[in-house]
Amino acid sequence: MALTHRSSNLLKPLSAAVLRRTFSTDTITVETSVPFTSHNCSPPPRTVETTPAEMMSFFRDMATMRRMEIAADSLYKAKLIRGFCHLYDGQEAVAIGMEAAITSKDCIITAYRDHCLFLARGGTLVETFAELMGRKDGCSKGKGGSMHFYKKESGFYGGHGIVGAQVPLGCGLAFAQKYSKEEHVTFAMYGDGAANQGQLFEALNMAALWDLPAILVCENNHYGMGTAEWRAAKSYAYYKRGDYVPGLKVDGMDAFAVKQACKFAKEHALKNGPIILEMDTYRYHGHSMSDPGSTYRKRDEVTGVRQERDPLERIRKLILSHDLATEKELKDTEKEIRKEVDEAIAKAKESPMPDPSELFDNVYVKGFGVEVFGADRKEVKSVLP
């Protein structure tokens, strides 16, 4: 929802009627694709309430994310994005559904597949592309790159390169929320590959011990880079692996299921401590841009998922079936989004590369009146702050 507002800044006035139409706030009841499976708790109901406005914003936001990731793909191939680039297309429903269920005071922390989550949390397209291309106007001033997107004001804590290391950090965020007695939760996201990390279970133990409001979300796209889940984990029912911690298995390609699950999880975490959500999702691209994604899975599998479970198509069908917009209007929206994304890329390209003088900025926070580097400090003093 925040995304729709933000991206409208980049729009030239267009006559697309779909934008001008206000959507009613009547509730529409939607059923999730499959019922929830739960472990150690009773699952939430399958029926989700939504509004036309929400459905349209889901469509728009997911289409923007999809478009952004495809554009990043082309930019990478054009060598404007270097290093590692992990794309999220196919998994957009998780980001969108989660954002719909929570506030900006709730924290989200994830691993390196963070472009769309950053966008969902209020990041702009320009910031995203500028950071991917290593420009000054990027969200991390060009110093982080694809794997280090952060947005403190909206509670997005990154953006971490080392698999699994963000989960203890997420429990730390939950700890701070409990310490400050806020009624907010933390969503610590990780993948099926990271689900086998020891630090995850250590963090889960501590979260359960102290009833921290931590929700561990396993985005199970079934492949840890090139290794299928059944080859890496003895038990790949990730939602059950918390043992004493309740778990819920969710269809991660259905944005409404994700929304329902996250709402349920938030209520649960505030009362009873940690819960694990397993999002059954899929990525169309390979693990990263260096991975074709076809050596460990068949092309039929990918196209099959794209045909049957694609989150964007699902929303499109729902919108069409509820007569909220016509086929043409949706197509026009997508064209608009494409234009938006192209403009954002153009704007990001104009942004300069960071100056070499910025190399040492933000290594340390200056304090106590002493320069950190070099032998030519003039004065040494200690000041009580």
Partner 1 sequence: MAVVFQGIGATAALTSATSVDSKKLYILSRRLVSETKSTFMVVRSDGRLNSGSNRRAQKLITNAVATKADSSPATKPGHELLLFEALREGLEEEMERDARVCVMGEDVGHYGGSYKVTKDLANKYGDLRVLDTPIAENSFTGMAIGAAMTGLRPIVEGMNMGFLLLAFNQISNNCGMLHYTSGGQFTIPVVIRGPGGVGRQLGAEHSQRLESYFQSIPGIQMVACSTPYNAKGLMKAAIRSENPVILFEHVLLYNLKERIPDEEYILNLEEAEMVRPGEHITILTYSRMRYHVMQAAKTLVNKGYDPEVIDIRSLKPFDLHTIGNSVKKTHRVLIVEECMRTGGIGASLTAAINEYFHDYLDAPVVCLSSQDVPTPYAGTLEEWTVVQPTQIVTAVEQLCR
Which residues contribute to the site for partner 1 (CB under 8 A)?
A: 107, 109, 138-145, 148, 150-152, 157-162, 165, 167-173, 175-180, 198-199, 202-203, 205-206, 209-210, 361-365, 367-368, 370, 372-377, 380-382, 384-385
The two tokens of residue 206 are 């501590």
For partner 1, the closer CB: 8 or 362: 362
**Nearest approach, Cβ of 368 to partner 1 (angstroms)?**
6
For partner 1, the closer CB: 96 or 125: 125
Please give, one letter per residue, the 3-state secondary structure of 265-316.
HHHHHHHHCCEEEEEECCCCCCCCCCCCCCCCCCHHHHHHHHHHHCHHHHHH
Q: Are 278 and 247 in contact (CB under 8 A)?
A: yes
**Nearest approach, Cβ of 189 to partner 1 (angstroms)?**
13
For partner 1, the closer CB: 7 or 146: 146
Q: Give the gyration radius of the chain's Cα atoms.
A: 21
Cβ burial, residue 197 (10 Å; 0-12/13-18/19+):
middle
For partner 1, the closer CB: 17 or 372: 372
For partner 1, the closer CB: 55 or 208: 208
Per the listing, tokens 């931590």 go with 214
Length of the chain: 385
Q: Are strands 47-50 and 28-31 parallel, antiparallel or unpaired?
A: antiparallel
**Nearest approach, Cβ of 5 to partner 1 (angstroms)?**
22
Helix (H) or strand (E) holding 72: helix 52-77
**Nearest approach, Cβ of 129 to partner 1 (angstroms)?**
15
For partner 1, the closer CB: 100 or 119: 119
**Nearest approach, Cβ of 179 to partner 1 (angstroms)?**
6
Please give the Cα distance from 103 to 274 (Å, whole number).
18
**Nearest approach, Cβ of 124 to partner 1 (angstroms)?**
15
**Nearest approach, Cβ of 308 to partner 1 (angstroms)?**
38
**Nearest approach, Cβ of 168 to partner 1 (angstroms)?**
3
For partner 1, the closer CB: 45 or 369: 369
For partner 1, the closer CB: 82 or 322: 82
Sequence-distant (≥ 6) Cβ neighbours of residue 306 within 8 angstroms:
90, 284
C-alpha to C-alpha distances, 161 to 198, 280, 327, nearest whole angstrom: 17, 22, 40
Q: Are strands 107-109 and 223-224 parallel, antiparallel or unpaired?
A: unpaired
Please give, one letter per residue, the 3-state secondary structure of 93-157.
HHHHHHHHHCCCCCEEECCCCCHHHHHHCCCCHHHHHHHHCCCCCCCCCCCCCCCCCCECCCCEC
